[in-house]
Amino acid sequence: MTLQSVPELQHRTVLLDEAVNMLAIEGVRADGIYLDGTFGRGGHSRAILARLGPKGRLIGFDKDPLAIATAQQIEDPRFEIVHDSFATLDQALAERGIAEVDGVLMDLGISSPQVDDAARGFSFRQDGPLDMRMDTTRGMSAAEWLATADEQTIAKVIRDYGEERFAVQIAKKIVAGRAVESISTTRQLAALVAQAVKTREKGKDPATRTFQAVRIFVNQELEELEIGLAKAFRQMAQHGRLVVISFHSLEDRIVKQFMASKAHAPQPDRRLPIRAVDLPQPEGLLLGRVKPGDAEVEGNPRARSAVMRGLERMPITAPGATP
């Protein structure tokens, strides 16, 4: 892919300064190793590079070939891009002889260029091929999946990943519709969903939840998130930081529960005679929850649903020892 083929679609990086600030790239940590798990169009990566020291290193990950093409425009010896999911970060680090990292940033969901490019099939607002893959070089497209999945599976995906109460009715419409003609465009799918969804929240399109569900399923987003969080924390150096920005409740719930599990050590039976100093210590320290301010939301309405959470890896100390 040539650089000329990269579409000129604008993307505003959400919580740019807040996310990079939470990574705490300063002092000796400025020469550390950092991962941008979702390069996108490079907003966070460029901000991280601006704070890295001369010996610092940044490895970006993305499944989108257009994101990879954008990343290749960055001429900085401290930076490299990996065309794969952040769920494979352990393999990428092993291949580079890296044992631990100082920070990982994940900006989940889809970017504005992906949504606004009709050819990607992410949006019901404009007609295009029903693709929805983050990585258009591999895997099954949304159209291919909808053409082969049974009604019960389609209903389960739309219900579980879209939190859609009309999932069964939508699945029935899809199966009936594909018997007449193949569902190959976003407009076709949106029209079938509209026939099944009789009521919807004010200002929300009937197809919103279904498109979200199919996209999440096709790209295995939640499964990769669970894997990526665990691997990122496992590779984290002492006082390294994991920062995650999510855009809907399913993602945020996974991030919140994972971080809480690391910030709270399992407690033994209170009836056992164990000194307080010998109690298990938490592996992580919660760094808080951040939402975009009014000014950012006004300038970028898509930032409204963003939630950022952070976790710091704490030193592991032996029972009874002084940290």
Task: List the CATH number of the domain containing 193.
Answer: 1.10.150.170
pLDDT at 1: 32
Does the residue 33 lie in any domain?
yes
Q: Is 42 annotated as a binding residue?
A: yes
167 and 255 inside one domain: no
pLDDT at 4: 33
Residues 6+ apart with CB under 8 A from 117: 7, 9, 128
**Strand ranges in the chain using DSSP code E only, listed in sequence order:** 33-36, 57-62, 79-83, 101-107, 236-246, 284-290, 307-313
Q: Is 86 annotated as a binding residue?
A: yes
Task: Read off the pLDDT of each residue in 63-80 and give the average, rounded to a whole number.
Answer: 96
225 and 101 inside one domain: yes
Q: Is 107 annotated as a binding residue?
A: yes
Cβ–Cβ contacts within 10 Å for residue 12, how many? 14
pTM: 0.89
Task: Read off the pLDDT of each residue in 147-169 and give the average, rounded to a whole number.
Answer: 97
Range of the domain at 61: 3-107+221-313
As beta bridge partners, residue 243 has 105, 310
Q: Is 162 annotated as a binding residue?
A: no
Digit-coded pLDDT (tens) for 289-315: 999 999 999 998 888 999 999 999 998
> In this predicted model, which residue has the larger pLDDT, 93 or 9?
93
Choose one of 219, 242, 264: the last residue of a domain: 219
Does the residue 119 lie in any domain?
no
Q: Which of 118-122, 197-201, 308-312 has the lowest mean pLDDT?
A: 197-201
215 and 236 inside one domain: no
* Biggest CA pair distance of the chain: 71
211: left (phi over 0), alpha (psi -120 to 50) or beta: alpha
For residue 208, pLDDT over 90 is answered with yes
User: Can you say how many angstroms the Cα of residue 312 is from the centroid of all Cα atoms in its chain?
Assistant: 19
pLDDT at 274: 66
Percent of residues, the chain, with pLDDT higher than 90: 78
Rg (CA), the chain: 22
Band of pLDDT at residue 158, cut at 50, 70 and 90? very high
Sheet containing strand 79-83, edge to edge, reads 79-83, 57-62, 33-36, 101-107, 236-246, 307-313, 284-290
Digit-coded pLDDT (tens) for 32-47: 999 999 999 999 999 9
User: Can you say how many angstroms the Cα of residue 265 is from the centroid of all Cα atoms in its chain?
Assistant: 26
Task: Read off the pLDDT of each residue in 246-251 and give the average, rounded to a whole number.
Answer: 95
Counting beta carbons within 10 angstroms of the beta carbon of residue 292, is it exposed (0 to 12), middle (13 to 18) or buried (19 or more)? buried
For residue 322, pLDDT over 60 is answered with no
Does the residue 117 lie in any domain?
no
| Residue 165: DSSP 8-state | T
Cα separation, 240 vs 196, in Å, equals: 48
214 and 226 inside one domain: no
Distances (CA, A) of 23 to 16, 48, 76, 181, 243: 11, 9, 20, 50, 7
Choose one of 201, 219, 237: the last residue of a domain: 219
CA atoms within 13 A on the CB side of 302: 14
Give whichever of 41-50, 117-126, 313-322 has the largest mean pLDDT.
Answer: 41-50
179 and 253 inside one domain: no
Does the residue 209 lie in any domain?
yes
